[in-house]
Copies of this chain bind each other. A is one copy, B any other.
Amino acid sequence: MITRTEQASARKRAAEMLKRAGIVARQEELERIEVADFGLGELDESGVQILTLVDTDEIAAKVLVLFPHQTEPEHRHPPLGDYLGKEETIRCQWGELYLYVPGAPTPEPVASPPAHRKNTYTVWHEHILHPGEQLTFPPNTPHWFQGGPEGAVVWTFSTKAVDIEDIFTDPDIRRKTVVVDG
């Protein structure tokens, strides 16, 4: 869980990074940036800030803000009934993103996930995305990523997003963020 103060502070920091990155958004969009701690209460280590621009029954376009070295933990977008699951393209707009997917493990990966959770990271094929670089992967692909030393602002273009159904490798994770007074 996070406190309202932490949520407001992360939103403000994310909005500043979005502006610096050239992302154009209305004030009411910035005010509903989702601050996700994945239920771990370690936002600066495991978390992401999400600006949702498009979210229909068919597609989603969102911008993710990663603070320096902040990690979005390993997860996949599973099939749901007739829906094959979310196909996703991640494209870097600003900063540097370390993205990991299935494939030959990269011998000396640049990113280190939070040390006490390292056993919940199972895919280690590294892609380093600089501004303008992107990767598309099919539904149900396990993946995780981390912001570089200055953080990262990245687009995610995808088929329908059903975030609450995402499956995380770490059993401690709860996708829905609980925000408490404070």
Contacts and interface: CB of A to CB of B under 8 A. Distances in A.
A26 B93 CA distance: 11
Contact of A136 (B24, B54, B132, B157): B54
Nearest to A92: B24
Copies in the complex: 2
Nearest to A139: B58
A21 B155 CA distance: 16
B59 A159 contact: yes
Nearest to A57: B87
Given A54-B134, A54-B136, A61-B89, 18 more contacts: A21-B22, A22-B22, A22-B23, A24-B93, A24-B94, A25-B132, A26-B132, A26-B133, A29-B132, A53-B91, A53-B134, A54-B91, A56-B89, A56-B136, A58-B87, A59-B59, A59-B158, A157-B157
Interface of A: 21-26, 29, 53-54, 56, 58-59, 61, 87, 89, 91-94, 131-134, 136, 155, 157-159
10 contacts: A22-B22, A22-B23, A25-B132, A53-B134, A53-B157, A54-B91, A58-B87, A58-B159, A59-B59, A59-B159
